[in-house]
Chains A and B, each alone.
Chain A
Amino acid sequence: MVITIFIRTLILYVLVVLVMRLMGKRQMGELQPFELVITIMISELAAVPMQNTGVPLINGIIPILTLLFLQTLITFGSLKSDFIKRLVCGSPTILIAKGRILEDALRKTQYSLNDLMEQLRIKGFFNIHDIEYAILETDGDISVIPKSQKRYVTPADLGIPTKYEGIPISVIVDGKIKEESLKYANLTLEQVLTEIKKRGVDNIQDVFFACIDPEGNWFVQKKEGKNK
């Protein structure tokens, strides 16, 4: 009995992880209403055959696969058709327009004034005067567009020229070299070894983390306890 439950749990866990991966990265972050429904249903469907050995495993597998199938179909449909997207995900609602709170929109979305003020504060806007637009997105988040005089100053506002900024590339993580990063950064193993040796580390295995930024600056940190 114990080993049966153990094996069933393993199978269903692998299946659920696989299904969540196939559903895409969005599933892990902000969920659309239909994605939330599918996620809740999957967890429930997996839990029942996991603990009840009287239920055939297929009774859990088929509904989970069916939900994956439906999710794929709905996502595809909403990508291809605006109508399906509106039907399934709804559409964003403007709550503040041109600095004015839209009472009708608040009523329709069942969003209280207190909720709105709270969300604005969370977003860093404490004064309603500073806001030009606030939009309630389909995933329940609020996007805020401040008035032009109240938004953050950018280098463009100040007329300051900026250099291209890429992203730093991780080259060594926990003593292991990342071959893909080497290729991406156009580096050779010898170059990496030279750089870490310059910083007093002899082996790649002794490096906890090493990365290179687009300007060619290196960051190298030794593993703890490897300091001579």
Chain B
Amino acid sequence: MKVWATVVGFLILVIVLMLISTHIILGAADKIESELSGLYENVIKNDYKLANSNYLDIVKKWGKYKKGWAMLIEHQEIDKIDEELTKIKEYLLEQDRTLLLSEISLLKFYIRHVREMILLKIENIF
């Protein structure tokens, strides 16, 4: 009886942890990705004022999500995202369209990569 209680308790713990971590990562990734799409479109339209406001929103949101992510994913991934945000900030100041677009796409790729890593998939298991 005690063993079965341990087995069930552990499985419940794993499922709850999985649901919480998926919720934290996916929820944040979706929001940042949609903000990044807005930023991308505004850069394409050469609307740097709006792009700047998009960037500030992303930084603000990322500041909030970062702490939760640090408990769940390797800190190297978080550092990469921080690095990209710093580059985007500089390119926005310089209004360098080409580099901005490439860095935004790269940041989107990193966010998507984290999202893919957290999902329960055959590729992730093997």
Taking Cβ atoms with an 8 Å cutoff, the residues of A that contact B are 53-59, 62, 65-66, 69, 72-73, 76
Contacts and interface: CB of A to CB of B under 8 A. Distances in A.
16 contacts: A55-B75, A56-B70, A56-B73, A56-B75, A57-B71, A58-B17, A58-B71, A62-B14, A62-B17, A65-B10, A66-B10, A69-B6, A69-B7, A72-B3, A72-B6, A76-B3
A72 B72 CA distance: 26
Nearest to B4: A76
A213 B14 CA distance: 51
Contacts of A56: 70-75
B36 to A, nearest CB: 24
A54 B75 contact: yes
B30 to A, nearest CB: 21
A55 B10 CA distance: 23
Contacts of A55: 74-75
A54 B72 contact: no
Interface in B1-22: 3, 6-7, 10, 13-14, 17
B98 interface: no
Nearest to B6: A72
A25 to B, nearest CB: 17
B76 interface: yes
A66 B70 CA distance: 21
B10 A69 contact: yes
Given A66-B14, A69-B6, 19 more contacts: A54-B74, A54-B75, A54-B76, A55-B75, A56-B71, A56-B72, A56-B73, A58-B17, A58-B71, A58-B72, A59-B74, A62-B14, A62-B17, A65-B10, A65-B13, A72-B6, A72-B7, A73-B3, A76-B3
B75 A53 contact: yes
A70 to B, nearest CB: 10
Contacts of B17: 58, 62
Contacts of A76: 3
A58 B18 CA distance: 12
Contacts of A72: 3, 6-7
The 10 closest A-B pairs by CB, nearest first: A54-B75, A76-B3, A69-B10, A56-B71, A54-B76, A72-B6, A54-B74, A56-B72, A55-B74, A58-B71
A146 B8 CA distance: 48
A15 B70 CA distance: 21
Contacts of A65: 10, 13
A54 B3 CA distance: 35
Nearest to A55: B74
A76 B6 CA distance: 11
B16 to A, nearest CB: 12
A56 B73 CA distance: 6
Contacts of A62: 14, 17
A102 to B, nearest CB: 38
A178 to B, nearest CB: 29
A72 B8 CA distance: 12
